[in-house]
């Protein structure tokens, strides 16, 4: 009987140790792909409440940025940088698919990489001469950006997706309730590439100062996809409540929400609350019939960054957040 009790205690201790060893560490990390470091740095962002949108007195604000309402966001990781061509071309070529992580119960998700479709080869050089190595990938559709996240999930065993609009603004503000994440608007050139200092081109990621949470280029360089359907009246329904991890689930192709402003934008379009709606005119010069599912040829200002929720979503939500 005594030996039996000791055995039970040992089993319990090993269970506790094993469970503890499998707990996620919520800290910054570098996501390798196929055991290779591609510079995919992820920043841990603690969840919390914030005021989403801009007040009516904020200079250059638009009506779709209000009313200001309180939002709660769960903890998540976000890419320190916008996704670069170096990473996006791995997804396009699929030459490293053979290095996919093995299925394991400790993975957040086990997904066969062969089941993930990839972007087709574009008919023009999609950097448009602005640079590739270390520069943000551009002109992809929201579907293509989402498929990159699905591919990265399959390759690593960690669940990745695009940020919701609320997550994006929460991360961009980094605790600020001002128009930008930095205090002095006159210092915008220290934090962002925009119309006045970009010389008509995007720039390598991470060249400007990060926001207080360590994220680079949240203002300017390239605009960034979010998950949400664009609804100019979306904030109206959350005026008197705390909205918990809100998202406008997309039900039609256009318009959807883009954030952050770009190297082509006036400075006021880089504000944390500024919203852009996607437009089918972004494919105006696409000669293909039907037009590409993967590329917005006329959106040379558009890219994306990724997030990984701390709490892995259910299987149903995983698929819901991978835009189809």
Structure tokens belonging to residue 68: 């200001």
The predicted pLDDT at position 120 comes to 86
- Give pLDDT tens digits along the chain (324 positions): 444 444 433 333 333 333 333 578 999 999 999 999 999 999 999 999 999 999 999 999 999 999 999 999 999 999 999 999 999 999 999 999 999 999 999 999 999 999 999 888 887 889 999 999 999 999 999 999 999 999 999 999 999 999 999 999 999 999 999 999 999 999 999 999 999 999 999 999 999 999 999 999 999 999 999 999 999 999 998 888 899 999 999 999 999 999 999 999 999 999 999 999 999 999 988 877 788 899 999 999 999 999 999 999 998 888 888 866
| Three-class secondary structure of residue 279 per DSSP | coil
H-only helix segments in the chain: 2-22, 85-93, 142-156, 165-173, 188-191, 315-321
- Closest Cα to residue 216, out of 207, 228, 224? 207
User: Are 270 and 204 in contact, with CB atoms under 8 Å apart?
Assistant: no
The predicted pLDDT at position 324 comes to 62
The predicted pLDDT at position 23 comes to 76
Residue corresponding to tokens 């094993």: 18
Residue corresponding to tokens 């400790």: 106
Give the C-alpha separation, 153 to 303, whole Å.
19
The predicted pLDDT at position 9 comes to 37
pTM: 0.92
Give the C-alpha separation, 275 to 64, whole Å.
8
The predicted pLDDT at position 100 comes to 97
The predicted pLDDT at position 113 comes to 97
């Amino acid at each position: 009987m005594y030996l039996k009790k000791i055995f039970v205690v040992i089993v319990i201790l090993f269970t506790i140790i094993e469970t503890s060893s499998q707990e996620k560490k919520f800290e910054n990390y570098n996501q390798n792909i196929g055991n290779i470091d591609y510079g995919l740095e992820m920043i841990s962002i603690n969840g919390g409440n914030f005021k989403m949108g801009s007040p009516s007195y904020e200079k250059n604000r638009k009506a779709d940025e209000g009313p200001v309402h309180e939002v709660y966001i769960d903890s998540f990781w976000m890419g320190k940088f916008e996704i670069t061509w170096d990473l996006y071309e791995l997804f396009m070529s699929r030459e490293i698919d053979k290095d996919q992580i093995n299925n394991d119960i400790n993975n957040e998700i086990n997904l066969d990489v062969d089941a993930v479709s990839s972007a087709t080869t574009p008919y023009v050089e999609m950097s448009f001469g602005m640079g590739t190595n270390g520069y943000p990938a551009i002109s992809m559709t929201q579907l293509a950006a989402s498929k990159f996240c699905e591919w990265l999930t399959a390759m690593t065993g960690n669940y990745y997706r695009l940020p919701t609009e609320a997550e994006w603004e929460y991360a961009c503000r980094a605790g600020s309730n001002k128009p930008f994440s930095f205090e002095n608007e006159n210092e915008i050139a220290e934090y962002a590439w925009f119309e006045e200092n970009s010389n008509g081109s995007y720039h390598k990621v991470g060249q400007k100062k990060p926001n207080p949470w360590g994220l680079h280029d949240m203002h300017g360089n390239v605009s960034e996809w979010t998950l949400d359907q664009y609804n100019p009246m979306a904030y109206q329904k959350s005026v008197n409540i705390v909205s918990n991890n809100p998202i406008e689930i997309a039900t039609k192709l256009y318009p959807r929400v883009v954030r952050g402003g770009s190297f082509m934008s006036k400075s006021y379009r880089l504000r944390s609350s500024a919203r852009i709606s996607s437009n089918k005119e972004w494919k105006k010069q696409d000669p293909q019939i039907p037009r590409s599912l993967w590329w917005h040829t006329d959106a040379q200002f558009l890219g994306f960054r990724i997030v990984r929720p701390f709490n892995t979503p259910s299987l149903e939500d995983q698929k819901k957040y991978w835009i189809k």
